[in-house]
């Protein structure tokens, strides 16, 4: 949501209501949770957004949510719920529920509904994660409001499932779409309805045409088991005949070579350079970090694709993933043997010791080149992510590397999310150090005092399991960094020392870890005014990991305070381009706000700060910077609005008490920052 919709401006855009129904019900205005405890009042908003009829009578709402009481009592309860709703919405400047005597409706042009986004994403063959398992995830937690509402909810879930399947059927049956997109839609339909034979046949045939025989046969096997279990019958003769044709090779071309017999890979992991410490890599494996293998991309289409092009993109992806160090990546030399070979992905995964596989294809038709990429769970073959990229200039090395960079930095958060979900299904005592790290990261993202404490406990447990894994120490340093940024330190010098100790341990464990080196430089600049040392560390970090978003991000404020805000801003913009799905993107935007503030571009600082605020309205460090930027830009009304949010997050906030912890190159810069905060309306 755009940052300028946080509060209504005179003659400006109105505040918008975001409603999430996939999973538990969420209500936000401009990124700020709607402060409304009444569960039925909250459900009324969702019902009005989801109901096909534009207007709903008061009588229907009263009977739906309060059927157990008299009509008079039900109407009274409805009036109170609507009063609570309007007060909560109006407090955030959102006029989405206009007054009405008999019928109620939402101003739908002010409503953003995640279910609408889900249907939009289907056009790309994608499904929002919370909906991919089925429509039973819709409005979870709202089932016990009343028997009548339960009946409506059950019908709504069934109708939404049918609607999803119709959309998917129309997509995978459309020959105008590319094969990979149709295949993805068929697989999604089969995931929603495991008994969907038509979708299964399309998925089987398209997988076979791509040369992915193993995936085609897995589709059939899953359908066979589901029909046997649920219906006590076998697939139809048409589906069985297709399975037989695929097994005979009547659809897929025969493999060009036999499947190579390779020993298990134990030493084929990528080493970025001669100075890379092998113990750090081994520690990553011992910590339980996932291993990913990037298989050679298939070349498809009527026109030949130069093998060097496919190999170059794969090598670039491997190189970028290896610089990130998480996950561990198998060397490209250990997977080249699979080029042009029809393989069993589960067997390849086991042979390489890979938790995840990256597969892809290059299709050429004239001057157009389309790259399709999939991230698969190694053993199950489940598709965790799918994307495509158009390559306009097949001869440009820079274009290839840019696309490979985008792919790599989309894969990493997908794998981290998969590992987080896996860890939540395991007993706590069996978690690996890496899985504890993923759970700690999720806690840090919540950004509360309690969640930071929980994250620290998880990370300290992970350190005991594997003290030589650098990302764990980096995670601990992040905990202290967020606590300092939120002004929650009881003992600020001790937390600064703990931060620097943790990040130094990360550097000791892996001396070429770009993110650790850059974070150490950031700490020197922000907390100790050691700008020359910070600059040297930032340069060294970038040399090791020039395309790592986190490495670039930690250099933004360090360079700005070291006297080079322009270079810091360029790094920040590059970091954001490389991290479209990073849950901590709000911090990237905040650092850009700070760099622009240091440069004196207060309007740009306010804009980046507002973006960060829309993404995470509880990040106190950013709220302060944004209020100061608005004040410095003489935008008094906006400055006061953000200052009010500072006091909501930290009611006892006083500017001069926090002066030693404020950012800046010197004492005068900190005092100027404090003056801007006071001008914004914060108490001195």
Q: What is the pLDDT of residues 113-136, one digit of tens each?
A: 888 877 776 655 555 556 666 788
In a domain, 407, yes or no: yes
Q: Among 132-146, 347-361, 453-467, which range has the highest average pLDDT? A: 453-467
Asked whether the predicted pLDDT for residue 69 surpasses 80, the reply is yes
- Long-range CB pairs of 95-98 (<8 Å, 24+ gap) are 95/8, 95/14, 95/15, 96/16, 96/17, 97/45, 97/48
Identify the bridge partners of residue 27 per DSSP, sorted by sequence position.
Answer: 19
In a domain, 170, yes or no: no
* pLDDT band, residue 554 (cuts 50/70/90): very high
Rg of the Cα trace of the chain? Answer: 27
Joined tokens for residue 537: 């560390």
In a domain, 166, yes or no: no
Mean pLDDT throughout 277-284? 38
Closest by Cα among 156, 161, 165, 127 to 48: 156
pLDDT value, residue 126 = 59
**Distance from C-alpha of 193 to C-alpha of 223, rounded to nearest angstrom:** 10
Domain CATH for 684: 1.25.40.10
Asked whether the predicted pLDDT for residue 664 surpasses 70, the reply is no
In a domain, 634, yes or no: yes
Do 121 and 218 belong together in one domain? no
* pLDDT band, residue 1 (cuts 50/70/90): very low
Residue pointed to by tokens 């240091």 = 598
pLDDT value, residue 355 = 83
Looking at 370, 398, 414, which one is the last position of a domain? 414
Domain boundaries, position 663: 583-684
pLDDT value, residue 606 = 95
Asked whether the predicted pLDDT for residue 286 surpasses 50, the reply is no
Mean pLDDT throughout 617-630? 93
Joined tokens for residue 577: 């381009």
Strands annotated E in 271-355? 291-294, 298-300, 328-329
Residue pointed to by tokens 């440009």 = 396
In a domain, 56, yes or no: yes
Q: Among 73-82, 299-308, 318-327, 489-498, which range has the highest average pLDDT? A: 73-82
Joined tokens for residue 533: 């040392």
Do 98 and 19 belong together in one domain? yes
What sign results for the dihedral spanned by CA atoms 366, 338, 175, 186?
negative
Query: What's the pLDDT tens digit per position in 142-183?
Result: 888 999 999 999 889 888 888 888 888 888 887 767 777 788
- Long-range CB pairs of 454-460 (<8 Å, 24+ gap) are 455/479
Q: How far from 642 is each of 34, 120, 485, 670, CA to CA, in Å?
A: 17, 33, 17, 19
The b/e string for 601-621 (b: 16+ C-beta within 10 A; e otherwise) is bbebbbbbbbbbbbbbbbbbb
**Distance from C-alpha of 181 to C-alpha of 159, rounded to nearest angstrom:** 24
Q: What backbone torsions phi and psi does residue 414 show, to the nearest 5 degrees? A: -65, -40
**Distance from C-alpha of 43 to C-alpha of 33, rounded to nearest angstrom:** 15
Strand 291-294 with 328-329, pairing: parallel
Mean pLDDT throughout 621-626? 93
Do 289 and 401 belong together in one domain? yes
**Distance from C-alpha of 513 to C-alpha of 572, rounded to nearest angstrom:** 19
**Distance from C-alpha of 213 to C-alpha of 558, rounded to nearest angstrom:** 52
Q: Please, is 410 exposed, middle or buried when counting C-beta atoms within 10 Å of its C-beta (0-12, 13-18, 19+)? A: middle
In 177-291, where does DSSP find H-type helix? 179-192, 197-209, 213-230, 237-248, 278-286
Q: Please, is 111 exposed, middle or buried when counting C-beta atoms within 10 Å of its C-beta (0-12, 13-18, 19+)? A: middle
Joined tokens for residue 471: 């990302």
Helices and strands (H, E) in the chain, number of each type: 26, 14
pLDDT value, residue 595 = 93
Looking at 414, 434, 468, which one is the last position of a domain? 414
In a domain, 92, yes or no: yes
Quick check: bond before 662 cis, omega within 30?
A: no
Do 38 and 136 belong together in one domain? yes
pLDDT value, residue 289 = 75
pLDDT value, residue 264 = 38
Joined tokens for residue 641: 């609005």
Asked whether the predicted pLDDT for residue 76 surpasses 50, the reply is yes
Do 221 and 294 belong together in one domain? no
Do 335 and 295 belong together in one domain? yes
Do 11 and 146 belong together in one domain? yes
Residue length, the chain? 684
Query: What's the pLDDT tens digit per position in 390-429?
Result: 776 655 656 667 777 778 777 887 888 777 777 777 777 7
User: Mean pLDDT for the chain?
Assistant: 81
249 versus 7: the higher-pLDDT residue is: 249
Asked whether the predicted pLDDT for residue 623 surpasses 90, the reply is yes
In a domain, 460, yes or no: no
pLDDT value, residue 266 = 32
Domain CATH for 127: 1.10.10.10
pLDDT value, residue 73 = 92
What sign results for the dihedral spanned by CA atoms 33, 413, 161, 194?
negative
Do 310 and 381 belong together in one domain? yes
**Distance from C-alpha of 646 to C-alpha of 644, rounded to nearest angstrom:** 5
Looking at 104, 126, 155, which one is the last position of a domain? 155
Query: Residue 515: how many CB atoms within 10 A of its CB?
Result: 29
**Distance from C-alpha of 677 to C-alpha of 627, rounded to nearest angstrom:** 6
8 A C-beta contact, residue 328 and residue 289? yes
Q: Among 77-86, 95-104, 184-193, 317-326, which range has the highest average pLDDT? A: 77-86
158 versus 582: the higher-pLDDT residue is: 158
pLDDT value, residue 216 = 87
209 versus 262: the higher-pLDDT residue is: 209
Number of domains in the chain: 4
Do 48 and 135 belong together in one domain? yes
Asked whether the predicted pLDDT for residue 547 surpasses 70, the reply is yes
Asked whether the predicted pLDDT for residue 263 surpasses 60, the reply is no
pLDDT value, residue 368 = 67
pLDDT value, residue 366 = 60
Joined tokens for residue 330: 């198998």
First to last CA, the chain: 33
Query: What's the pLDDT tens digit per position in 10-57?
Result: 444 568 898 988 878 889 887 788 888 888 999 999 999 888 666 889
8 A C-beta contact, residue 18 and residue 47? no
Joined tokens for residue 397: 């090395």
Do 332 and 380 belong together in one domain? yes
Q: How many CA atoms lie within 13 A of 482 on its CB side?
A: 26
Q: Among 350-354, 580-584, 661-665, which range has the highest average pLDDT? A: 350-354
Q: Among 94-98, 438-442, 633-637, 657-661, which range has the highest average pLDDT? A: 633-637
Do 625 and 664 belong together in one domain? yes
Domain CATH for 363: 3.40.50.10610
Do 310 and 231 belong together in one domain? no
In a domain, 468, yes or no: no
Asked whether the predicted pLDDT for residue 356 surpasses 60, the reply is yes
3-state SS, residue 599: helix
Q: Please, is 647 exposed, middle or buried when counting C-beta atoms within 10 Å of its C-beta (0-12, 13-18, 19+)? A: middle
């Amino acid at each position: 949501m755009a940052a300028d919709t946080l509060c209504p401006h005179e003659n400006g855009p109105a505040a918008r209501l975001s409603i999430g129904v996939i999973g538990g019900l969420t209500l936000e205005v401009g990124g700020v949770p709607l402060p409304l405890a009444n569960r039925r009042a909250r459900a009324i908003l969702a019902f009005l957004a989801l109901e096909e009829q534009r207007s709903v009578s008061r009588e229907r709402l009263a009977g739906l949510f309060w059927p157990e009481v008299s009509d008079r009592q039900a109407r009274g309860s409805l009036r109170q719920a609507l009063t609570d709703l309007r007060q909560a919405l109006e407090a955030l400047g959102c006029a989405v529920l206009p007054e009405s005597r008999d019928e109620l409706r939402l101003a739908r042009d002010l409503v953003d509904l995640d279910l609408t986004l889900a249907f939009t994403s289907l056009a790309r063959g994608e499904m929002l994660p919370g909906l991919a398992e089925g429509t039973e995830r819709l409005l979870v937690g709202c089932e016990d409001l009343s028997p009548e509402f339960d009946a409506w909810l059950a019908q709504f879930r069934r109708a939404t499932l049918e609607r999803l399947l119709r959309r998917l059927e129309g997509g995978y049956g459309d020959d105008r779409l590319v094969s990979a997109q149709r295949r993805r839609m068929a697989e999604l339909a089969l995931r929603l309805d495991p008994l969907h034979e038509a979708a299964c046949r399309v998925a089987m045939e398209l997988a076979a045409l791509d040369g992915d025989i193993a995936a085609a046969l897995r589709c059939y096997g899953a359908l066979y088991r589901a029909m046997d279990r649920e219906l006590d019958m076998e697939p139809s003769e048409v589906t069985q005949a297709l399975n037989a044709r695929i097994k005979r090779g009547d659809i897929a071309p025969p493999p060009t070579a036999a499947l190579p017999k390779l020993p298990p890979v134990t030493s084929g992991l990528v080493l970025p350079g001669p100075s890379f410490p092998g113990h750090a890599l081994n520690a990553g494996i011992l910590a339980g970090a996932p291993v990913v293998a990037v298989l050679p991309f298939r070349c498809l289409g009527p026109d030949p694709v130069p093998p060097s092009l496919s190999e170059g993109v794969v090598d670039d992806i491997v190189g970028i993933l290896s610089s990130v160090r998480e996950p561990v990546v198998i060397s490209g030399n250990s997977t080249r043997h699979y080029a042009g070979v029809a393989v069993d992905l589960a067997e390849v995964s086991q042979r390489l010791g890979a938790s995840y596989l990256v597969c892809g294809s290059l299709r050429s038709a004239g001057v157009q080149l389309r790259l399709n990429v999939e991230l698969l769970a190694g053993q199950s073959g489940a598709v965790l992510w799918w994307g495509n990229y158009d390559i306009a200039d097949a001869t440009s090395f820079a274009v290839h590397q840019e696309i490979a960079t985008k792919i790599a930095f989309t894969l990493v958060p997908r794998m981290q999310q998969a590992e987080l979900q896996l860890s939540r299904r395991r007993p706590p005592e069996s978690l690996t150090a890496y899985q504890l790290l993923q759970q700690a990261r999720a806690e840090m993202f919540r950004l509360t005092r309690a969640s930071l404490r929980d994250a620290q406990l998880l990370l300290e447990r992970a350190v005991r399991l594997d003290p030589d894994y650098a990302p764990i120490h980096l995670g601990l340093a992040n905990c202290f960094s967020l606590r300092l940024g939120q002004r929650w330190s009881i003992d600020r010098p001790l937390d600064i020392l703990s931060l620097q100790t943790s990040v130094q341990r990360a550097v000791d464990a892996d001396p070429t870890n770009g993110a650790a080196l850059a974070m150490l430089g950031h700490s020197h600049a922000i907390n100790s005014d050691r700008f020359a040392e910070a600059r040297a560390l930032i340069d060294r970090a970038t040399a090791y990991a020039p395309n790592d978003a986190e490495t670039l991000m930690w250099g933004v404020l360090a360079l700005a305070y070291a006297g080079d805000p322009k270079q810091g801003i360029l790094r920040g913009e590059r970091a954001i381009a490389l991290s479209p799905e990073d849950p901590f993107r709000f911090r990237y935007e905040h650092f850009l706000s700070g760099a622009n503030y240091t440069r004196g571009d207060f309007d740009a600082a306010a804009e980046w700060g507002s973006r960060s605020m829309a993404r995470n309205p509880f990040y106190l460090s950013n709220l302060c910077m944004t209020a100061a930027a608005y004040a410095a830009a003489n935008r008094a009304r906006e400055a006061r609005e953000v200052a009010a949010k500072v006091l909501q997050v930290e009611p006892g906030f006083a500017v001069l008490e926090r002066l030693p912890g404020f950012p800046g190159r010197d004492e005068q810069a900190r005092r100027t920052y404090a003056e801007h905060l006071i001008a914004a309306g914060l108490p001195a």
